[in-house]
Every structure is written in C-alpha cells, then in structure tokens.
A and B are shown apart, each in its own frame.
Chain A
C-alpha cells in the first residue's frame, strides 16, 4: 500500500477504530452485567432449593429421622451440579451431613448459609458453596460471540458509512487535493534552488566564523592551562599538612595555604611581623630574613603561648629565586610539633625517673609516669606466672599512690585477650559489661582499657602493660604510640630481670653440683679404699677356701667371711654407681637380676612406709648394658619416687619384653623398631604438673629447694638410656603418680655364664707379669693368686719403680697389671712409657673408680683392658689369661667411661660393644 493511499484513508481507519472500540466497550459492559445476572440467578435457584431442603430437613429433624435428613441433603447436593460443598450442621457444631464435589476445576466460589428454626429453636444450619464454572464457560462463549459480532457490525457500519461519504464528500475533495499537490511540488523546486544558493553563502560564512572561533579558542585554552596549573599548585599546597606562606622581600605576605591561615589567621597583603607578632620591625632571628640574607634554608623553633597552652612550631624557610638567581621571595613552612615535644618530654621524664631504678622500683616509677603521661587513673605491669593462666602484677599505680601487688586469673579479663593473642587491646568504654567476672575492674570502677603485651626477642609473651581509666576513651590511636614506648622499656627491664634470675639460679646449681661433685669424690675415695680392703678380704678368703677341704672346720667360717666380703663389695659398688665414679662394663645383662640385686638398696632408699613391688616377665630378654649404670638408673628413679611420696605409698618396678614398631620408633628419639626390654618404675606420689613434666630431663632443672637436689638425677638417667640406644618416657598427672618407662634394645648375645661359673678350672700360665699398685695388700693378693698358677710375678710400688724395673730387665715382660690411680705416675702414663720400651706389652688396668674427667677420657681414647676392684683370684686369673691369649695388635675391650657425656642429652660416642 502506498503512503498516499494510507494517508488519504487515515480518517477511515480512525473512524473504524473508534467505532470498533465503542462497540467493544458497550459489549464489555453488557457482558459483565450478564455474568452478574447469571450468578444471581444461580444463587436464587440454590436459595429456593435451600428453602425446600430446609423444610424437609426440619420435618425430618422434628421426627428425629436424622438418617433421612442426611440422605436428603447429600442427594440434593449430589444432584446440584453447581454445588462444590453442602453441609448440614447441628447447633452444637456436629456435621450431620456433608457433601463435597472434588472433580471441578478451581473457579470463583459463592457461599450461602441458611439456618432453620422451629419454635425459636435452631434445628440445623445448611451451608452451601457453589462454583461458577458453568457460568464462566458460558460467559467465555458469550465474549467470543460478542467480539465476532462487534467486528462484523463495525465492518458493516464502516462500509455503509464510507460508501456514502465517499460519494458525497471524498471524491470532490480528492480532486482538489491533487491540484494542491502539483502546486506544492512546483513550489518545492523553487525553494530547493533558493536553498542551495543560501547554503553556499552560508558555508563561506561558517568557514570564516570557524577560523575566528579557533583563534579565540586558542587564546582561551592558554588561559585555561595556566589556570589549571595554578589550581594544581594550590591543591598541592593545600594538601600539605604544614602551613605554607610566601613573603616578598618587604616581608609582605603574598600567599598562605589553608593550613597556614588556620594557624595564624588570614594575613595576605600584610607585613608578616606586624600581622603575626604585632611588631614594627623584623623579628629577631627571623628565618625569612636569614634566608634573604644568605640564600639558604633555615630551620628555627618557636614557642607560642596560647590560651589552650604552649605550642611548639618548627619553621623552615627557603628562598625563592628568579631566572637570574635573584631572591624574589621567601617560602615559609610551619609545622606544629607540640605533640612531638610533649612525647619527648614524657620519655625524658621516664628515662630520668627510671634511670637508676631497677627491679620493682623501676616498674613502680614506670607505671606512675605512664599513668601521668597518658592521663589515665590506673596503670600496671604484670608478668605471666609459671602457671600460665595467672598473672602477677609487678607494680600498680592507683591514681594517687601505688597499690598492693596481686595475682589474678587471666580468664574473663581483658588481659586474657592481650596475652593469648599477643596483640594490643583497646577497649574504649563499658569494659565492666564486657568482662563482668573481672572484679578488679569493678573495684577500680574502670570504664576504658588499653593493654599491650610484653614480647621478648624470641617472640614469647612474658607479661603485659596496661592502663585503665574511669572515663571512656576520647581518642584511641594517640596513646598507643606512647604506650609502646613504655612497653619496650618495661620489656627490656623484665628480660634483664629474667636473665638475672637465671644467672643466680645457674650459680646456685653450679654450687650444688660442685658440692655433689665433692661428695661424690669423697664417696668414691672412701669406696676405693674400701674396695682395696675388700680385695684383700675376698681375695685371701677365696684363696684360703680353695686350699682346704670342705669338711674342714674353718671352711664354713671362711665361707661366712667371704660372703660378708662380697656383700660389702656389692654395697660399695652401688655407692660408687650412685656417685658416678665407677668405670663401666657393657655386657649382656638380665635386667631382672639387676633389679633383684638392688632391691635391698631400693627399699632402703624409699623407706619403710613405701611398699616395693617387683614384677617381671617370665623370660625377660637380655640387654647389652652396664650393670652399674642400670643400677644408677634405678636408684635415681627411686630417689625421685621417694621425694614424691612424703607420706608413704607404693613403688612398682617391672621388667617386660616389648616389641616396638616403626610408629613408636618414629616418635621416640634413639629407638629403632624391634625387640626391646622395658623397665618400668611407677610411684603413687604427687605426680607432675604439665609444665614440670616437659622439663624433667633438663640438666639442673629441679622443683626442689636449693640444697635438696642437684637437678642432675633424671638428666643422668636420660643420658645413660640414650647411651644404651634406648628411650625413656614419663607419664604423670598431678595427684596420680608418675611412671617412667625405659626402653632398651634386646641383645642377641646370650647371658655371660662364665662369670658365675665356679666349676671351670682356673686358667694358668708361665708368662711374666708385672704388678704395679701402691697398696701392698693388693700386690700380695695378686702375687698369691697368680704365682701358684705358674706365672712369674714381678711387683712394683709405683710407676717409677715399675719403669725402672722394666728398663733394667733384659727379658720382656708379657703383661702389666697396673692400678690406674697411684701417687706420682698414673697407670696410664706408666703404660705409655712401658709401651715405648716394649710396644707389644699388654696392660690390664685395675681400679675401684675414676674420679678424674681427663683420666676417663685418656682411658676411653686408648681402649684399655681393665679389671674392676675388688679383685678375686679367679677373676684375676681369667682376665690375665684372656688378655695374654689375645693375638698381638688387637686392642682391648675399650670400656667406655661414664660421666663425660652424661650432661648432654645425645650420645656422642659409638658403643664399641654394640657398634
């Protein structure tokens, strides 16, 4: 359809549209009315039926025929297609009859209710709900019909009207319109031509105008750029936190930034000394004048007294030069350093106040100055106690005086947050409500709180510094920097105090250790002397018994003497083990025999009020260990257990076979998986606190008072166990006793039965032996023990004599038996000297103890052969024979001396026995 056609027929379409709209509007109105009418009709029908139903129901109810009433209502409801629900309800609410129709789609619902009475008494109420589904369906049908009819009617009317109008009015009008169009086109042609001319002229004019505009624009841009630069400079100066002003050579204020204006007031155009100071001449020492004079930057400080107090300003001036280097003006920067000065003053006063104070007096001065500096009522410094849940104050300032120090539980206090997180804590208000259980806050009537942890260089929280006030905190950031300064001072002093305490403690422990060392030496010396005596008793006792028949009357008494001597030897051996003076022998060992052998001593140690209970596996495995060290372990643990049971109790000692797997080995230092023997010592004592348990094996660590313990007993045990490639654990809870478990690897070697065997023949020989001992009884005992066995025996009283004898003798000596500890030349020195004379010479050292650390190391390094006193003839004969029979060039057994690495937790030597 062409545009002309449509434009000409626009009125027609408008007419059709309006007509159609009118018809549809009328239809709509009618349809709505129609629906309402239908619904009313339906309701009226139902109402009529309801009346009828009510009559029937009334009759039935009066006759008490409820069944028939029920049936009538239900049947009626079933018949009425328009009903969704019908109910007959008694006055008491009982539903006599009910019918529901559920197969009807959702639509509008209409409810009706009627109550039927008889003689003023309600009989029944019938409720019905109708749907409008049928009405809706009918209505939809009506709508469509009306729409179609409306369209048809509109079309017919339009055709009729249009045809009429067209004939009478439109046709003539169309002719006129055609003429008008033609004229219009002619006119448009003329206008187009004229327009083209005008456009050309306009174009020329526009170009000229553009050129002029460009010129103006360029000028404008230049002005704008300089304005922008000026604005940038202004904004930079305004952003500077300090006051900036510019004065010319006549001291006239040319420029002030907003900060300067705020500081001094608006004085642009005025002479600075008149405006700022009210003077009529330049101020003395004026930095601007100085800058003008020498062309340099000058910095001065000015103090200004104001109503609100004294203010400090730092003024920096620099000259402003032109292109020729001439000073044009001076730039002055003013900075308010009042707070900085105040902080410096406070720090200085703290330094002065605490410079000569230490310890508690230092902390007292610190908190007093802190409270004053921060203007808080309360200030205190506290230290975390060994029981890490509590804090003890070191100094407390209470506003006007110091308060008594106190301890408190951290839980439920603001200090808890500080100490647990290691972060500052700022509580500006209402802290009592936040920590209602902290009664100290209530006593202080505290409202606000600032706390800082005191953290050592290792990162450990040692304590805290805190201030409290009865008012809310005004600003929270400002005091923190000062608080940190005080905290660092407090921390330094606390660290210093801790170091001082540690030093004192170490000194005390050292003294104690030296005491023990002396006691040990004494015990060792006494034991050594006893060993020599016992050697004589036992040695000659054995000799005597071996030379008489069993039925000899003196056989039995000699036996008693020998037995007593051996018991005495046991006791001295144990004493030496306790004093750590005994030289050790690592052998396959049955720990059960160790425990049983030591049981009397253990009972003596723990006392009569502690019951000793021994428990063993039936066939305990063998371990490679030094008997004396094992005894030392037991005795140290027994001593420890005794101290934990002051009122008596029970001590259980067990020896068990255990197999340790990879997981156990992984979590226990020094353990490899496999068969082990476990020795367990359990007491029913007071148990250990968690903090103590972790440190129990540390050297010098003790919970006892000074003089009551060296702190070395358990560290010794630990060292011994590790040396034996074992592990030790401790389990303990306060009040529940303590259990130590020692794990030692099982040895594949069988127990050495030769020591206990008395039945084998005493070995003999013909070699030449040199005996060197300062004790005559020992020399004689050895002589009497070995000479009958066929050996040639030489004796010497000391090292020098022995050396002289060897030097002068032409035949070689096969073996030297030398006491280690002799006056003058020691046994080891003698050995070295003799070896220079005769490298193949074999040497067996004898001793009861070694009390010299260097000596031990000498012995250790040379891998010596050794025999422990007291001596017995058999032991002598067997040892001598063994060493003599060893092929030349093969070193001795290399007994490792005890003691020199007992103070460290790691073993630093490989055990040559076990490799």
Chain B
C-alpha cells in the first residue's frame, strides 16, 4: 500500500503540474479535481491527499486529481470561482471565501478523535509565571502562519478579548506553523504562543502549560463547486460520509490527519462561531 501511494504521489505531482498550466482543462472532462491549500510543502500535500483521490476515484469510477493552490488567497479564489470540483479548505478560509463568494455546497467536514471541531490554546512553559492572558502584556508571543486560524487568528482574538493588542506585547512573530510555535516557546525564545489543541497535547509532556482555550471551531471541510450536478454532489457526499465506517476509508483520511476518525455532515451554520470571532477581531474577509 505504501509503495503504491508513493507511485501515486509522483504521478499525481506530474498531473498536477500539467493541470496547473492549463486552468481551462481543470474543469470538465471525465475526471474530478480535488483542490487543496498549501498548508504544507507541495510534496507533502500530495502525499497526504493522493490516497484520498485514488479512493474517491475508485468508488466514483472516475479519476480524481489533486491540485494545490499557490497560497491561501489563491485557494479561496479558486474555490469561490468553482475552479475545483471538490476542494479541501480550512475553517477560516471557508468563512472568508463565503464572505467573498457566497456559500458553496458542503460535502463533509473532518472528524478528528471523534469530534468535528477543534479549538486553540495559548501555551506557556510549565515553569512560567504567566497564568492568564492579561499577564502576557510585555511578554514575547509566537504566532504560526499569519493566515492560520488556530495559530494566528484565534490567538489574536483571545488576546484582544483580554485587552491585549499586538503593540502591548513585548515582541511577537509569525513562525509559519504550529510546531514552530510550541518549539519556540519550549526553547525559551518566546514566552507564549498560540496553537491548536492537538499540537499542544502532543508537546505538553515536554514542558508546556495552557493558560487559555478558545471556543470550539468547526473542523476543516470539503466543499463542492456549485457547478457540480446535485446528484454528483450527493454521491460524493454519501461516499465521503461512508468512509468513517470503512477501514480503507479511515486509513485514507488518516493520511490527511493522523487522528482523523471519519468525515461527518456539516452545515454553514457550524462556522458561525468562527465567523463571529473573525468579525470581532477584524479579520473577516482576510485570507485564513
């Protein structure tokens, strides 16, 4: 299985490269396109999503191709403009995309560790004197990617909620990803950081402590292009939802997210809380 996926990764990369140069060929034809935002290096994105493409293709009896957007903004645009038949999109990106382009049919959202939602955590070192958000004034804070929901948007929302604008921090920086954030705090280069709970739990034993939690936010999701026939949408939706009860389906999802336990139904209203957070923190309409 692993070697098969490696071969598939290479094949997928070649196809993706070709298709990127020919946007017109992305849509239509017998196959489906699966768009993914570049939250990881391209090769890694391919490695994670090509198995899903093969799984879906096998079940739908038509090839599914993985395509990677250039950046978050580009991804939102492509999804909003129905460039992709199916797209995997982050929660805040979805909110932003809907804000700009309107709603898209939701196929399913990820369920991780049995829950289709996640939350962010503000972490400090265990021995730190910082015990609450308001204590962070004058200290150094690490964010992840500026567009990341859990490592930037939500932490900033929480800081604002505690009366802390960025200029009140001693120093802050964007470190590109969750792991860098926790490592920077553990290394002592920063005093606190914002990450998703999953990352915090993974690194907690190394010496981290949480001082604040965000409200829960609905998980990343799969949407369909509005151009896709409703019947097709239903088929894909049903197929995705059935992956939870299928060993192979769960294995494929765990390539995308190691703790994924399935895909579950979602509705636009599930993202209202995030929508509210982004609005309050003045981040609505920005890229995730």
Task: From the candidates B179, B186, B188, B189, name the one contacting A67 in the complex (CB within 8 A).
Answer: B179
Tell whether, in the assembled complex, residue B187 and residue A65 are in contact, meaning their CB atoms are under 8 Å apart.
no
**Residue A94 lies at the interface, judged by CB distance under 8 Å to chain B:** yes
B-contact 0/1 string along A251-286, CB 8 Å cutoff: 000000000000000000000000000000000000
Tell whether, in the assembled complex, residue A94 and residue B207 are in contact, meaning their CB atoms are under 8 Å apart.
yes
- Chain B min CB distance to A120 (Å): 16
Q: How far is the CA of A67 from the CA of B182 in the complex (A)?
A: 10
B-contact 0/1 string along A35-65, CB 8 Å cutoff: 0000000000000000000000000000011
**Residue B176 lies at the interface, judged by CB distance under 8 Å to chain A:** yes
Chain B residue with Cβ nearest A91: B188
Tell whether, in the assembled complex, residue A92 and residue B179 are in contact, meaning their CB atoms are under 8 Å apart.
no
**Residue B177 lies at the interface, judged by CB distance under 8 Å to chain A:** yes
Tell whether, in the assembled complex, residue A92 and residue B177 are in contact, meaning their CB atoms are under 8 Å apart.
no
**Residue A320 lies at the interface, judged by CB distance under 8 Å to chain B:** no
A-contact 0/1 string along B183-213, CB 8 Å cutoff: 1101111000000000000000011000000
Q: How far is the CA of A561 from the CA of B205 in the complex (A)?
A: 109
Tell whether, in the assembled complex, residue B180 and residue A90 are in contact, meaning their CB atoms are under 8 Å apart.
no
Chain B residue with Cβ nearest A92: B188
- Chain B min CB distance to A835 (Å): 118
Q: Inside 8 A of A70's CB, which chain B residues have their CB? A: 183
**Residue B15 lies at the interface, judged by CB distance under 8 Å to chain A:** no
Size band of the interface chain A makes with B? 10 to 19
Tell whether, in the assembled complex, residue B188 and residue A94 are in contact, meaning their CB atoms are under 8 Å apart.
yes
**Residue B42 lies at the interface, judged by CB distance under 8 Å to chain A:** no
Task: From the candidates B142, B180, B187, name the one contacting A92 in the complex (CB within 8 A).
Answer: B187
A66, A67, A92, A94: which has the most chain B beta carbons within 10 Å? A66
Chain B residue with Cβ nearest A97: B183
Q: Inside 8 A of A67's CB, which chain B residues have their CB? A: 177, 179-180, 183
**Residue B175 lies at the interface, judged by CB distance under 8 Å to chain A:** yes
Tell whether, in the assembled complex, residue B186 and residue A94 are in contact, meaning their CB atoms are under 8 Å apart.
yes
Task: From the candidates B175, B186, B188, B207, name the one contacting A64 in the complex (CB within 8 A).
Answer: B175
Tell whether, in the assembled complex, residue A90 and residue B176 are in contact, meaning their CB atoms are under 8 Å apart.
no
Tell whether, in the assembled complex, residue A65 and residue B188 are in contact, meaning their CB atoms are under 8 Å apart.
no
- Chain B min CB distance to A121 (Å): 11
Q: Inside 8 A of B207's CB, which chain A residues have their CB? A: 94
**Residue A96 lies at the interface, judged by CB distance under 8 Å to chain B:** yes
A64, A92, A94: which has the most chain B beta carbons within 10 Å? A64
Q: How far is the CA of A65 from the CA of B189 in the complex (A)?
A: 12
Q: How far is the CA of A67 from the CA of B186 in the complex (A)?
A: 12
Q: How far is the CA of A795 from the CA of B117 in the complex (A)?
A: 130
Tell whether, in the assembled complex, residue A66 and residue B188 are in contact, meaning their CB atoms are under 8 Å apart.
no
Tell whether, in the assembled complex, residue B177 and residue A94 are in contact, meaning their CB atoms are under 8 Å apart.
no
Q: Inside 8 A of A90's CB, which chain B residues have their CB? A: 186-188
Q: How far is the CA of A92 from the CA of B128 in the complex (A)?
A: 13
Task: From the candidates B142, B175, B176, B187, name the one contacting A94 in the complex (CB within 8 A).
Answer: B187
Tell whether, in the assembled complex, residue A94 and residue B180 are in contact, meaning their CB atoms are under 8 Å apart.
no
Give the size of the chain B interface in residues (CB under 8 angstroms).
Answer: 15
Q: How far is the CA of A66 from the CA of B188 in the complex (A)?
A: 12
**Residue B173 lies at the interface, judged by CB distance under 8 Å to chain A:** yes
Tell whether, in the assembled complex, residue A94 and residue B184 are in contact, meaning their CB atoms are under 8 Å apart.
no
Tell whether, in the assembled complex, residue B179 and residue A64 are in contact, meaning their CB atoms are under 8 Å apart.
no
Q: How far is the CA of A90 from the CA of B188 in the complex (A)?
A: 8
- Chain B min CB distance to A171 (Å): 79
Chain B residue with Cβ nearest A65: B180
A-contact 0/1 string along B206-227, CB 8 Å cutoff: 1100000000000000000000
Tell whether, in the assembled complex, residue A65 and residue B186 are in contact, meaning their CB atoms are under 8 Å apart.
no
Within 8 A of A (CB), among B125-145: 142
Q: How far is the CA of A91 from the CA of B186 in the complex (A)?
A: 11
Q: How far is the CA of A92 from the CA of B180 in the complex (A)?
A: 17
Chain B residue with Cβ nearest A94: B186
Q: Inside 8 A of A92's CB, which chain B residues have their CB? A: 187-188
Q: How far is the CA of A780 from the CA of B255 in the complex (A)?
A: 133
Q: How far is the CA of A66 from the CA of B190 in the complex (A)?
A: 12
Within 8 A of B (CB), among A740-763: none
Tell whether, in the assembled complex, residue B177 and residue A64 are in contact, meaning their CB atoms are under 8 Å apart.
no
- Chain B min CB distance to A343 (Å): 86
- Chain B min CB distance to A71 (Å): 10
Chain B residue with Cβ nearest A67: B179
Chain B residue with Cβ nearest A70: B183
Q: Inside 8 A of A96's CB, which chain B residues have their CB? A: 183, 186-187
Say whether, besides A90-B186, A92-B188, A66 and B173 are in contact (CB < 8 Å): no
Say whether, besides A66-B183, A66-B184, A67-B183, A94 and B206 are in contact (CB < 8 Å): yes
Q: How far is the CA of A92 from the CA of B189 in the complex (A)?
A: 10
Q: Inside 8 A of A91's CB, which chain B residues have their CB? A: 188
Chain A residue with Cβ nearest B189: A64
Q: Inside 8 A of B188's CB, which chain A residues have their CB? A: 90-92, 94
Q: How far is the CA of A66 from the CA of B206 in the complex (A)?
A: 15
Q: How far is the CA of A70 from the CA of B173 in the complex (A)?
A: 20
A-contact 0/1 string along B161-188, CB 8 Å cutoff: 0000000000001011101100110111
Q: Inside 8 A of A65's CB, which chain B residues have their CB? A: 175-176, 180
- Chain B min CB distance to A87 (Å): 13
Q: How far is the CA of A91 from the CA of B187 in the complex (A)?
A: 8
Q: How far is the CA of A67 from the CA of B175 in the complex (A)?
A: 10
B-contact 0/1 string along A82-121, CB 8 Å cutoff: 0000000011101010000000000000000000000000
Q: Inside 8 A of A94's CB, which chain B residues have their CB? A: 186-188, 206-207
Q: Inside 8 A of B206's CB, which chain A residues have their CB? A: 94
Q: How far is the CA of A92 from the CA of B176 in the complex (A)?
A: 23
Q: How far is the CA of A768 from the CA of B85 in the complex (A)?
A: 148
Q: How far is the CA of A90 from the CA of B176 in the complex (A)?
A: 20
Q: How far is the CA of A91 from the CA of B189 in the complex (A)?
A: 10
Chain A residue with Cβ nearest B206: A94
Q: Inside 8 A of B173's CB, which chain A residues have their CB? A: 64
Chain B residue with Cβ nearest A68: B180
- Chain A min CB distance to B37 (Å): 19
Chain A residue with Cβ nearest B190: A64
- Chain B min CB distance to A89 (Å): 10
B-contact 0/1 string along A470-501, CB 8 Å cutoff: 00000000000000000000000000000000
Q: Inside 8 A of B177's CB, which chain A residues have their CB? A: 67
B-contact 0/1 string along A150-169, CB 8 Å cutoff: 00000000000000000000
Q: Inside 8 A of B189's CB, which chain A residues have their CB? A: 64
Q: Inside 8 A of B183's CB, which chain A residues have their CB? A: 66-67, 70, 96
Q: How far is the CA of A94 from the CA of B142 in the complex (A)?
A: 17
Q: How far is the CA of A67 from the CA of B183 in the complex (A)?
A: 8
Q: Inside 8 A of B175's CB, which chain A residues have their CB? A: 64-66
Chain B residue with Cβ nearest A90: B187
Q: Inside 8 A of B180's CB, which chain A residues have their CB? A: 64-67
Q: How far is the CA of A96 from the CA of B187 in the complex (A)?
A: 7
Q: How far is the CA of A92 from the CA of B190 in the complex (A)?
A: 12
Q: How far is the CA of A94 from the CA of B184 in the complex (A)?
A: 10
Chain A residue with Cβ nearest B176: A65
- Chain A min CB distance to B189 (Å): 7
Chain A residue with Cβ nearest B175: A64
Chain A residue with Cβ nearest B187: A90
- Chain A min CB distance to B125 (Å): 8
Q: How far is the CA of A213 from the CA of B70 in the complex (A)?
A: 126
Q: How far is the CA of A909 from the CA of B13 in the complex (A)?
A: 124
Q: How far is the CA of A91 from the CA of B175 in the complex (A)?
A: 20
Q: How far is the CA of A70 from the CA of B206 in the complex (A)?
A: 15
Q: How far is the CA of A65 from the CA of B142 in the complex (A)?
A: 12
What 14 additional pairs, Cβ within 8 angstroms, besides A67-B179, A90-B187, A96-B183? A64-B142, A64-B173, A64-B180, A64-B189, A66-B175, A66-B180, A66-B183, A66-B187, A67-B177, A70-B183, A92-B188, A94-B186, A94-B188, A94-B206
| Shortest 5 CB-CB contacts between residues of A and residues of B | A66-B183, A92-B188, A90-B187, A94-B186, A67-B179
Q: Write 29 A-B pairs (CB below 8 A) sorted by A numbering.
A: A64-B142, A64-B175, A64-B180, A64-B184, A64-B189, A65-B175, A65-B176, A65-B180, A66-B179, A66-B180, A66-B183, A66-B184, A66-B187, A67-B177, A67-B179, A67-B180, A67-B183, A90-B186, A90-B187, A90-B188, A91-B188, A92-B187, A92-B188, A94-B186, A94-B187, A94-B188, A94-B206, A94-B207, A96-B186
A residues bordering B, Cβ < 8 Å?
64-67, 70, 90-92, 94, 96
